[in-house]
Homo-oligomer: A and B are copies of this chain.
Amino acid sequence: MAAVTAFVGAGCIDGTGSALLVDSAIVVRDGRVEWVGPSSELEPTRDLERVDLSGTYVVPGLLDANVHLLLQFTPDVLLRFEPGDYDELVLEAAQVALAAGITTVFDTWGPLESLRRVRERIDSGEAVGSRIFLAGNIIGNDGPWSSDFAAGFGDAVSPDLVERINRHWVQGVGTDLTWMPAEHVRGAVREYVATSGIDFVKYSSSVHALVKFLAFSSDAQRAIVEEAHAAGMTAQACSMTPEALKMAIDAGVDLLQHGDVTGRHPMPEETIDLIAARQLPCVAFLVTERNVAAATSEEKLGIMDGYFSKRVLVKDENDRKLIAAGAKLLLGNDMSVFGPTARTHPLFGPRLSGPDPEMHLGRSHLYWLQAAIERGMTPMDALLSATRNIAEAYRKDDEVGTIEPGKRADLLVLDGNPLEDVRNFRRVVNVVKDGVIVDRNRLPEHPVLTDPDRHVTADST
Chain B residues near A241: list those with CB within 8 A. 178-180
Q: Which residue of B lies closest to A113 (CB)?
A: B461
Given the interface pairs A75-B157, A156-B74, A175-B212, the reply to whether A219 lies near B243 with Cβ below 8 Å is: yes
Binary flags per residue of A35-77, CB closer than 8 Å to B gives 1, else 0: 0000000000000000000000000000000000000001110
**Contact assessment for A214 and B215 in the assembled complex, using a CB-CB cutoff below 8 Å:** yes
**Contact assessment for A461 and B167 in the assembled complex, using a CB-CB cutoff below 8 Å:** yes
A residues with CB within 8 A of B: 74-76, 79-80, 82-85, 150, 152-161, 164, 167, 175-176, 178-184, 207, 210, 212-220, 241-244, 246-247, 263-265, 268, 271, 340-345, 455-456, 458-461
Bound complex: CA A153 to CA B158 (Å): 12
Q: Which residue of B lies closest to A244 (CB)?
A: B217
**Contact assessment for A265 and B158 in the assembled complex, using a CB-CB cutoff below 8 Å:** no
Given the interface pairs A212-B175, A219-B246, A247-B217, the reply to whether A265 lies near B181 with Cβ below 8 Å is: yes
Expressed in whole angstroms, the minimum distance between the Cβ of A378 and any Cβ of chain B is 30
**Contact assessment for B179 and A264 in the assembled complex, using a CB-CB cutoff below 8 Å:** yes
Selected from B79, B164, B179, B343, the residue in CB contact (under 8 A) with A459 is B164
Would you list 14 pairs from A and B whose C-beta atoms are within 8 A, ordered by A residue? A75-B79, A75-B157, A76-B158, A83-B458, A83-B460, A83-B461, A157-B341, A158-B343, A160-B344, A181-B271, A183-B268, A213-B214, A214-B216, A219-B246
Q: Which residue of B lies closest to A78 (CB)?
A: B79
Chain B residues near A343: list those with CB within 8 A. 158
Chain B residues near A82: list those with CB within 8 A. 76, 80, 455-456, 458
Chain B residues near A160: list those with CB within 8 A. 340-341, 344, 459
Bound complex: CA A195 to CA B123 (Å): 56
Chain B residues near A341: list those with CB within 8 A. 157-158, 160-161
Chain B residues near A153: list those with CB within 8 A. 156
**Contact assessment for B76 and A76 in the assembled complex, using a CB-CB cutoff below 8 Å:** no
**Contact assessment for B74 and A212 in the assembled complex, using a CB-CB cutoff below 8 Å:** no
Expressed in whole angstroms, the minimum distance between the Cβ of A267 and any Cβ of chain B is 8
Selected from B76, B181, B184, B210, the residue in CB contact (under 8 A) with A161 is B76
Chain B residues near A219: list those with CB within 8 A. 243, 246
Expressed in whole angstroms, the minimum distance between the Cβ of A73 and any Cβ of chain B is 10
Chain B residues near A207: list those with CB within 8 A. 210, 213
Chain B residues near A456: list those with CB within 8 A. 82
For the A-B complex with A150-B156, A220-B243 known, give 4 more contacts whose Cβ atoms are closer than 8 Å.
A80-B82, A82-B455, A85-B455, A158-B343
Chain B residues near A246: list those with CB within 8 A. 181-182, 217, 219
**Contact assessment for A218 and B242 in the assembled complex, using a CB-CB cutoff below 8 Å:** no
Selected from B80, B342, B460, the residue in CB contact (under 8 A) with A80 is B80
Expressed in whole angstroms, the minimum distance between the Cβ of A373 and any Cβ of chain B is 29
Bound complex: CA A158 to CA B76 (Å): 9
Bound complex: CA A270 to CA B230 (Å): 24
Q: Which of A175, A178, A458 has the most CB of B within 10 A?
A: A178
Q: Which of A157, A179, A340 has the most CB of B within 10 A?
A: A179
**Contact assessment for B242 and A181 in the assembled complex, using a CB-CB cutoff below 8 Å:** yes
Bound complex: CA A337 to CA B177 (Å): 36
Expressed in whole angstroms, the minimum distance between the Cβ of A230 and any Cβ of chain B is 21
Expressed in whole angstroms, the minimum distance between the Cβ of A217 and any Cβ of chain B is 4
**Contact assessment for B461 and A180 in the assembled complex, using a CB-CB cutoff below 8 Å:** no
Expressed in whole angstroms, the minimum distance between the Cβ of A171 and any Cβ of chain B is 12
Q: Which residue of B lies closest to A168 (CB)?
A: B461
Bound complex: CA A342 to CA B156 (Å): 11
Chain B residues near A264: list those with CB within 8 A. 176, 179
Chain B residues near A220: list those with CB within 8 A. 243
Q: Which of A164, A243, A268 has the most CB of B within 10 A?
A: A243
Chain B residues near A458: list those with CB within 8 A. 82-83
Selected from B80, B214, B263, the residue in CB contact (under 8 A) with A214 is B214
Chain B residues near A159: list those with CB within 8 A. 344
